[in-house]
């Protein structure tokens, strides 16, 4: 139950986050558009809501899967409930702080640092609950349990590191603060990748009914590469600050290899499935398949921009935004949607009709096509802004790439519509399942009282 509530909250977060993303796109083109809602507020709302979507659905999946597959029951449902309400109330406060113009943090978490305290506490609740629950599982862990455990621990460490700017020693030296900020947030991304990739491999094994996928040498190679990437992968973002060449080179090698191995595992898993297994979890399978395609496409882009010559011209342009959006929407979001629809497929009280499944499939097609146009427009705009810059005034450059930015914004609208259509059916199904579970509990309690 608590896992479904986290997923519902994540769905709301993504829907709102995409809305502010579209608003931000129009504000970028038309500065007078919704001028009272400044671009700084729009961006902060968009980024924080989308990052929250990733964590909420990953956490919700873990809370849902543990008592059903790993152990007989969650260590503490009460602790998980406290986690939920603390996250929700903090999220509402964060939104209020943005809308009132109160900032103070960095990058993904631009809210006043005082609001990080309840996030720390909620993560302690989550980690304690996870490890106490898993302490009852004495069998060798498949790779996805190790990924979840590592993601939990490293989020706490990297989120702590991200707040070192509060200490004068780091804050008063610009180079030192930039290095620590980029390092911590790069590793923070690695921590949520552990949670998301672990979720993907979990779903893959359950759909196929074969644990070998998650216990193979290839799967654990992915885990250790992901761990190295989490620790070192931030290095290729630091061309503008002093760092050793070997560290950047190693970071690129690790991050590219991790993407390739993850893509290959999912690809090989697809080939091993029977038609029955595909049909039984059709929607979850389609989302995982989409994620796999975007893994390879994003890998291709990452390999190109990892070349120092190209990176020099593209870093800080729309090409990097395209890479980030390809990872966030094409890979992470598709995996998390696969998790949601895997859960819906296993709900006892709710089943999507053929018409609803078809509507979700149409939403997925629209989202994939829109995302392709979205990313191509960003890449062309970034190339035009970086590679072909010949010294013109900034306004001239922006005027020249404006048609591509307009295309990117319009593609963002259709992408949002496609994702919203998917989220609507997911939200409705999870709400019905929660309501039915409440009814069943009330009936059982009434029977017990009469007995």
In this structure, is residue 267 part of a structural domain?
yes
CA distance 200 to 58: 10
pLDDT at 317: 73
111, pLDDT greater than 80: yes
Instruction: Give a yes or no: residue 216 inside a domain.
Output: yes
Determine the average pLDDT of the residues in 67-94: 90
Residue 301's pLDDT is what? 75
| Rounded CA separation 87/413 (Å) | 29
- Cα separation, 173 vs 107, whole angstroms: 18
Measure the CA–CA gap between 112 and 118, rounded to whole angstroms.
Answer: 12
Q: What is the pLDDT of residue 136?
A: 81
| CA gyration radius, the chain | 22
At residue 444, the pLDDT reads 55
In a domain, 4, yes or no: no
271 band by pLDDT with thresholds 50, 70 and 90? low
- Choose among 5, 100, 87: nearest CA to 51: 87
Higher pLDDT, 307 or 181: 181
Q: Phi and psi (nearest 5°) for 109? A: -125, 80
CB neighbourhood size of 351 (10 A): 12
Q: Do residues 116 and 105 touch, judged by C-beta distance below 8 A? A: yes
Comparing CA positions, the residue from 156, 168, 52 lying closest to residue 110 is 52
* Mean pLDDT confidence for 420-432: 91
| DSSP secondary structure of 113-155 | GGGHHHHHHHHHHHHHHHHHHHTT--SPPPHHHHHHHHHHHHH
Coil, helix or strand for 106? strand
DSSP string, 157-170: HHHHHTTGGGSHHH
Does residue 424 form part of some domain?
A: no
Question: Range of 207's domain?
Answer: 140-280
d(C-alpha 443, C-alpha 264), whole Å: 48
pLDDT of 60 reads: 93
- Cα dist. 16→24, 76, 138, 184 in Å? 12, 30, 41, 26
Residue 319 confidence (pLDDT): 77
* pLDDT (0 to 100) of residue 421: 93
Distance CA 19, CA 9 (A): 16
Which helix (H) or strand (E) is 283 found in, with range?
A: helix 282-305
User: Is there a domain that residue 220 lies in?
Assistant: yes
| Residue 150 included in any domain | yes
Which residue in the block uniquely carries the two structure tokens 């829109």?
370
Per-residue pLDDT band for 414 (boundaries 50, 70, 90) equals: very high
Per-residue tokens: 296: 């390879």
The pLDDT confidence band at residue 86, using thresholds 50, 70 and 90, is very high
Tokens linked to 143 = 């790779």
The pLDDT assigned to 443 comes to 57
Would you say residue 129 lies in a domain? no
**Which pLDDT tens digit goes with each residue over 293-345?**
887 777 777 767 766 667 666 666 777 777 778 778 888 899 999 999 998 88
Q: Is the pLDDT confidence value at 160 over 90?
A: no
Q: What is the band of 90 on the pLDDT scale with cuts at 50, 70, 90?
A: very high
Count CB-CB contacts under 10 A for residue 309: 8
Model pLDDT for residues 360-376, shown as the tens digit of each residue: 999 999 999 999 898 88
Hey, which of 27-36, 90-99, 179-188 has the most confident mean pLDDT?
90-99
Number of domains in the chain: 1
Q: Which of the two residues, 209 and 290, has the higher pLDDT score?
A: 290
Q: Quick check: is 167 in a domain?
A: yes
> In the prediction, which pLDDT does 377 show?
86
Burial class (CB in 10 A: 0-12, 13-18, 19+), 251: buried
Rounded to two decimals, what is the model's pTM?
0.87
pLDDT average, residue stretch 343-366 = 85
**Please, are residues 340 and 57 in contact by the beta-carbon 8 Å criterion?**
yes
Sign for the pseudo-dihedral over CA of 275, 280, 286, 287 = negative
What distance in Å separates the CA atoms of residue 274 and residue 276, rounded to the nearest whole number? 5
């Amino acid at each position: 139950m608590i896992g479904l509530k986290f997923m519902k909250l994540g769905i709301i977060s993504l829907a709102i986050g995409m809305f502010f993303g579209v608003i931000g796109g129009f504000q970028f083109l038309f500065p007078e558009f919704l001028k009272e809602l400044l671009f700084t507020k729009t961006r902060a709302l968009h980024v924080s809501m989308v990052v929250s979507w990733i964590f909420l659905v990953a956490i919700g999946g873990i809370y849902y899967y543990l008592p059903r597959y790993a152990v007989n029951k969650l260590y503490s449902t009460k602790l998980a409930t406290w986690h939920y309400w603390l996250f929700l109330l903090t999220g509402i406060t964060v939104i209020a702080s943005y809308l009132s113009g109160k900032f103070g943090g960095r990058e993904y978490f631009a809210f006043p640092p005082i609001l990080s305290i309840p996030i720390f506490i909620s993560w302690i609740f989550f980690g304690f609950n996870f490890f106490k629950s898993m302490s009852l599982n004495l069998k060798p862990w498949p790779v996805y349990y190790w990924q979840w455990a590592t993601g939990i621990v490293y989020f706490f460490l990297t989120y702590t590191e991200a707040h070192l700017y509060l200490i004068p020693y780091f804050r008063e030296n610009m180079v030192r603060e930039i290095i620590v900020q980029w390092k911590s947030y790069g590793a923070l991304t690695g921590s949520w990748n552990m949670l998301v990739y672990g979720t993907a491999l979990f779903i893959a094994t359950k759909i196929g009914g074969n644990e070998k996928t998650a216990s193979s040498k290839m799967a654990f190679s992915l885990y250790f590469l992901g761990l190295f990437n989490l620790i070192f992968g931030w290095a290729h973002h630091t061309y503008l600050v002093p760092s050793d060449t070997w560290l950047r080179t190693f970071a690129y090698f690790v991050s590219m290899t991790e993407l390739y191995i993850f893509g290959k595992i999912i690809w090989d898993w697809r080939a091993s499935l029977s038609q029955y297994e595909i049909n039984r979890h059709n929607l979850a399978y389609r989302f995982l398949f989409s994620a796999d395609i975007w893994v390879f496409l994003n890998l291709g882009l990452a390999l190109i921009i990892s070349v120092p010559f190209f990176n020099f011209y593209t870093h800080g342009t729309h090409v990097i935004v395209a890479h980030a959006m390809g990872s966030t929407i094409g890979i992470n979001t598709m995996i998390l949607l696969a998790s949601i629809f895997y859960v819906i497929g296993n709900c006892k009280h709710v089943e999507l009709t053929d018409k609803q499944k078809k509507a979700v499939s149409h939403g997925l097609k629209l989202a994939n096509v829109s995302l392709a146009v979205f990313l191509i427009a960003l890449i062309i705009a970034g190339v035009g802004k970086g590679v072909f810059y010949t010294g013109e005034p900034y306004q001239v450059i922006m005027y020249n790439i404006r048609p591509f930015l307009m295309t990117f914004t319009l593609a963002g609208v259709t992408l949002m519509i496609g994702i919203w259509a998917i989220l609507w059916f997911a939200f409705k199904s999870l709400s019905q399942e929660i309501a039915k579970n409440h009814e069943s509990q009330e009936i059982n309690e009434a029977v017990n009282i009469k007995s």
